[in-house]
Amino acid sequence: MLAYRTNLTMQQLGSLFGISHAAVHRVMTRLAEPLVEFLGPPPADRRECGSSTAP
């Protein structure tokens, strides 16, 4: 989840966790589909994302 929220590169994530960028890629590839299934589609209206600021 950190990779998707922060836009860090595979190299940066590897350095952060002490693993190779190839290992980061394998983990992200393995977890991408289960995350999509778990989280479901994004809301059509971004206001439904749970932002704490009201317009």
Query: Are 10 and 25 in contact, with CB atoms under 8 Å apart?
Result: yes
Sign of the C-alpha dihedral computed for residues 29, 32, 8 and 19 taken in this order: negative
What pLDDT does residue 48 have? 63
What pLDDT does residue 41 have? 83
CB neighbour list of residue 10: distance below 8 Å, 6 or more residues apart: 3, 21, 24, 25, 28
**Going residue by residue through the chain (55 aa), what tens digit of pLDDT does each one get?**
777 778 899 999 999 999 999 999 999 999 989 988 998 887 787 676 665 555 5
* Residues 30, 53: Cα–Cα separation, whole Å: 34
What pLDDT does residue 13 have? 92
CA dihedral angle for residue 4, residue 24, residue 31, residue 7, rounded to 10 degrees: 10
What pLDDT does residue 49 have? 65
